[in-house]
């Protein structure tokens, strides 16, 4: 009788041990990623911006993707340890504040308002707000001409705010969730112009299916200083700044610009100095 009690107790201990080991294995798996078995880093990018941040059947591509990959490597993460997460314009601050991402490289302009809630490393690219119109439309020759037009931008973007506050307050502003949705409206004639940064517009205009259908206004209406967003107070800011300096110094920055934006004949500004935010 005693032997049976001991055997039953022993069996229970073994069962608990196996269960604990299995649970521990699941937790370890959740904290790791990639074939190398190291920890993951989660990076927010745009999924629908050709030349900058785009999800394709082959993976993720664009200038922001190359910058983020370079930075991640300097932080100790290989490419297969990166988990990419879509960061729509209206969601970026929330993603950082909740800790859903470690940092965001998603055509994220540094502004005083945003700096109240998140920190920025950089800037790593100076772009300018412009408009994209249909190639046969010659009615928009200056920003003032937008006041009588149906203008599209993205909800939560600085471009939408700039239009409403100073550039064309009388324009019929349409705010869509993505730039690709605006582009569809421009192509169909539902809107007259799409406004955002010239770097983004150049990426769209250079796509094979749109080649020759659209043109840039060339207005350079604002300075847009692209930064890498991190959670307020994060020590990643200094580390990312150092990585960006290294990227410029070893010419990887120039290579990434030419590779991703060169085909659109985009006339980029020189690499900005860290902390030099152009107003």
First to last CA, the chain: 86
Instruction: Check whether residue 102 and residue 57 sit in a common domain.
Output: yes
Is residue 86 domain-resident?
A: yes
Task: Report the number of distinct structural domains present in the chain.
Answer: 2
Instruction: Check whether residue 228 and residue 121 sit in a common domain.
Output: yes
Domain boundary among 177, 196, 216: 216
* Whether pLDDT at 232 is above 90: yes
Is residue 55 domain-resident?
A: yes
Is residue 175 domain-resident?
A: yes
Instruction: Check whether residue 94 and residue 64 sit in a common domain.
Output: yes
Is residue 36 domain-resident?
A: no
Is residue 151 domain-resident?
A: yes
As given in the structure block, the two tokens for residue 70 are: 């370079």
Instruction: Check whether residue 153 and residue 193 sit in a common domain.
Output: yes
Is residue 51 domain-resident?
A: yes
Q: Which pLDDT tens digit goes with each residue over 21-32?
A: 333 333 333 334
What pLDDT does residue 38 have?
Answer: 65
Instruction: Check whether residue 175 and residue 239 sit in a common domain.
Output: no
The whole-number average pLDDT for the span 168-190 is 92
Read off the CATH number of the domain in which 119 is found.
3.40.190.10
Is residue 269 domain-resident?
A: no
Q: Which pLDDT tens digit goes with each residue over 26-56?
A: 333 333 433 345 699 999 999 989 999 999 9
Q: Which domain holds residue 89?
A: 41-127+224-264
Q: Which residues lie across from 39 on neighbouring strands?
A: 32
Instruction: Check whether residue 79 and residue 138 sit in a common domain.
Output: no
Contacts of 163 (CB under 8 A, 6+ apart): 146, 151, 153, 169, 171, 173, 195
Strand, coil or helix: 82: strand
Strand, coil or helix: 254: helix
Pairing of strands 172-176, 150-154: parallel
Q: Report the predicted TM-score, pTM, of the whole model to 2 decimal places.
A: 0.78
Q: Which residues lie across from 84 on neighbouring strands?
A: 43
Instruction: Check whether residue 78 and residue 211 sit in a common domain.
Output: no
Instruction: Check whether residue 206 and residue 182 sit in a common domain.
Output: yes
Q: Which pLDDT tens digit goes with each residue over 197-220?
A: 999 998 888 788 888 899 989 899
The whole-number average pLDDT for the span 261-269 is 83
Is residue 173 domain-resident?
A: yes
Instruction: Check whether residue 138 and residue 110 sit in a common domain.
Output: no
What pLDDT does residue 166 have?
Answer: 85
Domain boundary among 158, 193, 216: 216
Q: Which pLDDT tens digit goes with each residue over 69-128?
A: 999 999 999 999 999 999 999 999 999 999 999 999 999 999 999 999 999 999 999 999
Instruction: Check whether residue 144 and residue 207 sit in a common domain.
Output: yes
Radius of gyration of the CA atoms of the chain, in A: 24
What pLDDT does residue 28 have?
Answer: 33
Q: Which residues lie across from 109 on neighbouring strands?
A: 226
The Cα 100–Cα 122 span in angstroms is 21
Instruction: Check whether residue 81 and residue 195 sit in a common domain.
Output: no
The kind and range of the H/E element at 64 are helix 63-74
Domain boundary among 193, 216, 239: 216
Instruction: Check whether residue 136 and residue 120 sit in a common domain.
Output: no
């Amino acid at each position: 009788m005693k032997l049976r009690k001991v055997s039953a107790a022993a069996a229970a201990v073994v069962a608990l041990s196996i269960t604990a080991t299995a649970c521990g294995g699941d937790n370890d798996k959740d904290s790791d990623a990639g074939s190398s078995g190291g920890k993951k880093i989660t990076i927010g990018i745009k999924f629908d911006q050709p030349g900058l941040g785009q999800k394709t059947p082959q993976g993720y591509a664009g200038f922001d993707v190359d910058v983020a990959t370079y930075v991640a490597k300097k932080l100790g993460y290989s490419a297969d340890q990166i988990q990419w997460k879509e960061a729509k314009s209206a969601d970026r601050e929330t993603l950082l504040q909740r800790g859903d991402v470690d940092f965001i490289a998603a055509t994220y302009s540094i502004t005083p308002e945003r700096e109240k809630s998140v920190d920025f490393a950089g800037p790593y690219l100076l772009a300018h707000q412009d408009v994209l119109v249909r190639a046969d439309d010659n009615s928009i020759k200056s920003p003032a001409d937008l006041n009588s037009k149906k203008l599209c931008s993205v909800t939560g973007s600085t471009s939408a705010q700039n239009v409403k506050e100073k550039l064309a307050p009388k324009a019929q502003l349409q705010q869509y969730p993505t730039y690709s949705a605006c582009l569809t409206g421009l192509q169909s004639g539902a809107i007259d112009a799409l406004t955002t940064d010239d770097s983004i517009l150049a990426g769209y205009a250079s796509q094979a299916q749109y080649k020759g259908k659209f043109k840039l206004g060339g207005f350079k209406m604002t300075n847009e200083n692209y930064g890498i967003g991190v959670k307020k107070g994060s020590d990643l800011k200094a580390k990312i700044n150092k990585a960006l300096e290294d990227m410029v110094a070893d010419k990887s920055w120039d290579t990434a610009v030419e590779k991703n934006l060169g085909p659109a004949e985009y006339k980029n500004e020189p690499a900005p100095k860290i902390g030099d935010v152009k107003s």
